[in-house]
């Protein structure tokens, strides 16, 4: 099965400064009485909230810092915008691999990362994991057409495997590190092929098998520099961009033919 994905990248902005501020904010929260901090029981911040895509990008790490209002476990979910994805099944026919069947999913996140301070199944019951789409096995991909449960599960598993091979889906379980009972941090690794968009960062505080707190933040992934200008031109001037691409292809073909004739 195949599922071609776009290639992307990243830029760090004031990472160290934001990290220090995040820790400072968490320390301040620890000094607030429990009653006063009830409305903001879970405080989080990112070492950088803008990832810029430029030529030569090889991936980036984003550090998430936070503080809870007391003991409990933490789950971190980072999710890119969803899009429609086609998953194809290949079969060997007369010695040739061909596309035998496919299934369209309407809501496949371009990137999905989950980390937790303990195994998800030990923290929350299955209905809660499904309702909040916590964990790759609990993402609601929503098939475009009705199909059998067995077929949907087969294509769903293939989609997850493909994304994991591309490092776009990760289950970094037990990858939330606590400092004491309240301060915590977690690393989010973004691969070189990470898609653009506004990523939703959601942190859940869990106690007694229930979600006791929730905090959200935004992580922006954008193209910058020359690549951004080319993409903008392609969208805003699509006919002209297409003509230029055809002209360049014709010139390249003519030049290659000319060179080979000389040889």
The three-state (H, E, C) secondary structure of 9-38, written as one string: CCCCCCHHHHHHHHHHHHHHHHCCCCCCCH
Closest CA relative to residue 175, chosen from 78, 75, 79:
75
Domain 15-222 belongs in CATH node 2.60.40.1930: yes
Query: In this predicted structure, what is the pLDDT of residue 24?
Result: 52
Please give the distance of CA 7 from its chain centroid, rounded to a whole number: 13
Contact 199, 219 (CB under 8 A): yes
What gap in Å lies between CA 76 and CA 42, rounded to an integer?
A: 12
Domain residue extents for the chain = 15-222, 224-263
The number of CA neighbours under 13 Å toward the Cβ of 104 is 6
The whole-number pLDDT of residue 216 equals 96
8-state DSSP, 145: S
Both tokens of 129, joined, read 């994991």
pLDDT for residue 96: 74
* pLDDT for the residue 181: 82
* Helix, strand, coil share of the chain (percent; to 5): 35, 35, 30
pLDDT value of position 236 = 56
The model's pTM: 0.72
Q: Name the strand (E) or helix (H) holding 162.
A: helix 149-165
Return per-residue pLDDT of the chain as tens, 263 residues: 444 443 333 333 334 445 444 555 445 444 444 333 334 579 999 999 999 988 888 899 999 999 998 889 999 999 999 999 999 987 777 677 776 789 999 999 999 999 999 999 999 999 999 999 999 999 999 999 988 899 999 999 999 999 999 999 998 676 899 988 889 999 999 999 999 999 999 999 999 999 999 999 999 999 886 554 555 545 555 666 567 667 777 777 776 666 666 55
The strand pair at 210-223 and 50-53 is best described as parallel
**Residues β-bridged to residue 202:** 77, 216
pLDDT of residue 252: 74
β-sheet bridge partners, residue 16? none
Dihedrals φ, ψ of 36, to 5°? -70, -30
């Amino acid at each position: 099965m195949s599922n071609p994905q776009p290639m992307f990248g990243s830029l760090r902005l004031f990472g160290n400064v934001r990290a220090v501020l995040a820790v400072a904010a968490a320390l301040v929260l620890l000094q607030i009485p429990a009653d006063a901090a009830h409305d903001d029981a879970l405080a989080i911040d990112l070492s950088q909230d803008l990832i810029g895509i430029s030529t030569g990008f090889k991936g980036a790490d984003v550090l998430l810092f936070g503080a809870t209002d007391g003991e409990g476990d933490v789950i971190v979910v980072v999710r890119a915008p969803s899009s429609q994805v086609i998953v194809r099944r290949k079969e060997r026919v007369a010695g040739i691999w061909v596309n035998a069947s496919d299934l369209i999913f309407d809501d496949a996140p371009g990137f999905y990362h989950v980390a937790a301070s303990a195994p998800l199944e030990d923290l929350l019951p299955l209905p809660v994991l499904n309702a909040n789409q916590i964990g790759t096995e609990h993402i609601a991909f929503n098939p475009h057409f009705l199909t059998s449960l067995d077929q949907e599960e087969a294509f769903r598993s293939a989609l997850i495997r493909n994304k994991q091979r591309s490092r776009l889906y990760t289950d970094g379980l037990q990858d939330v590190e606590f400092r004491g009972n309240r301060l915590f941090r977690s690393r989010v690794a973004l691969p070189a092929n990470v898609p653009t968009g506004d990523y939703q960062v959601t942190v859940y505080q869990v106690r007694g098998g229930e979600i006791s707190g929730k905090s959200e933040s935004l992580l922006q992934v954008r193209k910058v520099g020359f690549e951004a200008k080319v993409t903008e031109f392609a969208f805003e001037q699509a006919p002209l961009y297409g003509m230029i691409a055809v002209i360049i292809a014709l010139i390249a073909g003519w030049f290659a033919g000319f060179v080979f004739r000389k040889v």
